[in-house]
Structure formats: structure tokens, C-alpha cells
Amino acid sequence: MAELTHFDVASIDEMDPSIADGYRVIYDREVPFELRLHEANAPQQVGTLEAVKAKVLVLGDEHSLQSIRVELSSEADLFFHYMHVIDEAGFLAIQEQQKLMVEFADYPNVLIRMLNNCIKEPHSHLAVFVMKQDVDARLDFIQNMEYKFVELMSCHFIRSPEEIVQHQITFRYNAVKTRLNMMQGRLEDVNNLVKLKNPSLLLQLQKSTTSWGGR
């Protein structure tokens, strides 16, 4: 039996550089985003709809929350990586500016609820990500009220430094490679078992695989 078959899948996640500094992941899903490029002195244009992986992380527990970080990445573009990092002092400024009716401790749950709404009700709840030509970007959560669009909340993002992007790409590459090795090891185990118990069935399976591969 291949050694990697026994590899604990959870240990792959433990290699995630996002949690290397003490943060823990509380949300990790693909969310439909409208991606827009903002150019100075140019009219705002409709963006492209893409699936963006949104990861919400927290530092500290619910009774002593120290910091919140939201990471955005994309399977379509490995070099797409943005972060929104905020502590309580930074949140208070946003709370006053945007007239938010939630406290810092509730902010992660509010973010998660809005992201989930964009997944469940994409026609009425929109996530618009506006990227500027520099490192800055903005995520607007917008609700379509039929007669008008209402901006619910806005979050400031920055493009991640090249070093962080490289660490993330390395992690994703190694994670995929490890899972592939695990599946190949598992396939080898199944082949050996079927070969032992029913060799003719194995031949049928191999022929079937070859015929599918030739299509």
C-alpha cells in the first residue's frame, strides 16, 4: 500500500501559509464576484463575473478578537491575491464612516452572511470587486431592491505582496500534488485488490478506461 494513502488530509491544510501567523480559518468558499478595473478619468464599466475563493480568518477567539483577515484568490489566475486586514481600531473608523450597526466581534459573521447571500441569491445580492491600477481595491456588497441598488457595506483590500503570492502558489501546487499522489496510491491499492480477487474484472476496467481516454 502506498505510503501517501495514509496521509492525513487535514495536514494538507496545516501547510496553508494563511494560518502560519496564528490566524485560523472560519470560512472558505467560492463566491460569485463581479470583477471591475477602475481607471482614472474613465467611465465605470460592467465587469466580468468570476468565481473567487473567499477565505475569512480571525486572530484570537470570540471573546477577545484581535484581528480579522479576508483573503481573495482565484483558480483562474494564480497570481490574483488580495487581502482585507482590520483590527478593532480600524473597524471603529469604518463603523463610523459607513454607519454600520454591528460591533467588531460580529464583523466576521456579517462578512460570512453577506458572502453566503451572494452565493444563495446572486441576482439580488452582489459582490462587486473594483481593482485600481495600484495595489488598492474595494469590495462592495450591493443589494438589488428591484427599483434601486443599495450598497450595504464596503471593504478596502490591498493586493498581496509578491512574497505572499508566491507562498500561496507554492502551497496550492503542493496541495494538489499531494492529493494527486494520494489518489494514485489509492488507485494502485484498488487495482491490486481487484487483480487478486477478480483478474478478469480488472482487464475490463482497464479496457473501459482506455476506451474513455481515446474519446
* Joined grid coordinates for residue 202: 480488472
Q: How far is CA 78 from CA 29, 69, 139, 178, 192, in A?
A: 16, 19, 19, 18, 37
**Integer Cα distance of 92 and 100 in angstroms:** 9
pLDDT tens, residue by residue, 174-203: 878 887 888 888 888 888 888 888 878 778
Q: How far is CA 27 from CA 16, 36, 110, 116, in A?
A: 14, 24, 12, 10
What's the pLDDT band for 63 if we cut at 50, 70, 90? confident
pLDDT tens, residue by residue, 13-47: 777 888 888 999 999 999 999 999 877 666 666 67
Mean pLDDT for all residues in the chain: 86
**Integer Cα distance of 191 and 194 in angstroms:** 5
Contacts for 37 with CB less than 8 Å, ≥ 6 apart: 45, 47, 130, 131, 133
Contacts for 183 with CB less than 8 Å, ≥ 6 apart: none
